[in-house]
């Protein structure tokens, strides 16, 4: 194996990513070396490409980006015994500390010392990735590399959707981006009675209808409130999954929730947003903020659901060889695609 590899990195503090040659990572005794086969482009990667205020203040110049991946193990650290060479895998991109109260209590996803591959540490847009064995998730035969490469965002959707009991409930998803669409599919798979998804992007609403048995509503042209009597719902939605980061979407969600409704929020509003807390209080609404995935409960649940009939493949709308990464990123930046997957097998 050569000691050099191709990698996509933020080599300049400006818009874009650039292909470069980098050393193959050296692994430690508790790490594995993964040969990358497929990677997904994430919204976070678009922020880094655009070099917006968040990215410029967070991502070091020179970093190899990317954190959605699938591949196979080609080297094992000397202390690694539970994994094997040639094993197909994905992995948890949040690298946790071991000293915090949360981590020591097993609540790894809440560890304040968390660092992200492709954001703070060298990432997966490369031919090889070093990853702690602790973070490595083996893939069963039923989950191919293409689906394995989008388990990270599917995990966001699963963590959000399963925040509350969904069996027999009426669910509203605001934001028909790929994660919102997958959350709607998870809600339906988990036993929700009605699942409604809203957006103002008709192309993504059309995609949502292809991925899952949900009712897409374009709130630029249709009244969300009209859906409630149409679906013969008694009062309003029982569970809300806010995936857009849009203040108006959250306001609409609060307006159409039933008394005692529950909202899980994954979407991140830009800056500070005004909130009419009196409406939330008087409706006795519960709001839960969601970040990342529960390590590793979310991984167990989403793999089990994929093995048991959850089908999100249609959320992948574009596939490119990694040498065409610029086209892949431009496709994502246009805002009408689903997931975009890059193939590293011919790099």
Enumerate residues 6+ apart whose C-beta is below 8 A from 276: 251, 254
19 and 122, same domain (yes or no): yes
30-53 pLDDT tens trace:
999 999 999 999 999 999 999 999
267 and 182, same domain (yes or no): yes
Residues forming the active site: 44, 47
163 and 263, same domain (yes or no): yes
Q: How many domains does the chain have?
A: 2
In a domain? residue 295: no
In a domain? residue 305: no
Closest CA to 43 of 10, 69, 68, 6: 68
Neighbours of 281 (CB within 10 A): 9
CA distances in angstroms from 283 to 237, 238, 257, 276, 290, listed in the order given: 12, 12, 8, 12, 21
221 and 132, same domain (yes or no): no
Q: What is the pTM of this model?
A: 0.95
77-111 pLDDT tens trace:
999 999 999 999 999 999 999 999 999 999 999 99
In a domain? residue 123: yes
Q: How confident is the model at residue 4 (pLDDT cuts 50, 70, 90)?
A: very high
Neighbours of 46 (CB within 10 A): 15
299-333 pLDDT tens trace:
999 999 999 999 999 999 999 999 999 999 999 99
Range of the domain at 101: 4-150+312-343
pLDDT for position 261: 97
Asked if residue 1 has pLDDT above 80, the reply is no
80 and 194, same domain (yes or no): no
What is the CATH number for 244?
3.40.50.720
25 and 131, same domain (yes or no): yes
In a domain? residue 296: no
Express as a percent the part of the chain with pLDDT over 90. Answer: 95
């Amino acid at each position: 194996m050569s000691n050099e590899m191709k990698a996509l990195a933020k080599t300049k503090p400006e818009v874009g990513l650039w292909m470069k040659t980098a050393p193959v990572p050296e692994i430690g005794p508790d790490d594995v070396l993964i040969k990358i086969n497929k990677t997904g482009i994430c919204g976070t990667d678009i922020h880094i490409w655009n070099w917006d205020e968040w990215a410029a203040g967070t991502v070091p110049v020179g970093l190899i980006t990317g954190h959605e991946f699938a591949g196979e193990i080609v080297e094992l650290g000397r202390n690694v015994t539970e994994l094997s060479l040639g094993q197909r895998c994905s992995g948890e991109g949040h690298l946790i500390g071991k000293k915090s109260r949360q981590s020591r209590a097993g609540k790894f996803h809440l560890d304040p010392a968390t660092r992200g591959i492709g954001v703070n540490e060298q990432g997966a847009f490369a031919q090889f990735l070093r990853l702690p064995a602790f973070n490595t998730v083996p893939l069963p035969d039923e989950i191919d590399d293409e689906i394995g490469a989008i388990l990270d965002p599917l995990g966001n959707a699963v963590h959000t959707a399963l925040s509350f009991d969904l069996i027999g409930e009426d669910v509203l998803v605001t934001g028909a981006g790929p994660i919102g669409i997958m959350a709607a599919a998870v809600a339906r798979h988990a036993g929700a009675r009605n699942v409604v998804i809203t957006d103002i992007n008709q192309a993504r609403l059309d995609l949502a209808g292809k991925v899952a048995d949900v009712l897409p509503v374009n709130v630029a042209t249709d009244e969300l409130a009209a859906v409630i009597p149409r679906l013969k719902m008694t009062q309003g939605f029982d569970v809300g999954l806010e995936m857009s980061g849009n203040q108006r979407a959250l306001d609409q969600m609060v307006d159409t929730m039933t008394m005692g409704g529950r909202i899980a929020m994954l979407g991140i509003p830009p800056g500070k947003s005004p909130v009419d807390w009196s409406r939330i209080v008087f409706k006795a609404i519960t709001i839960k903020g969601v970040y990342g995935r529960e390590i590793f409960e979310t991984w167990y649940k989403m793999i089990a659901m994929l093995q048991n009939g959850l089908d999100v493949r249609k959320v992948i709308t574009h596939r490119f060889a990694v040498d065409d990464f610029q086209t892949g990123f431009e496709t994502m930046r246009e805002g009408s695609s689903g997931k975009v997957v890059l193939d590293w097998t011919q790099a």
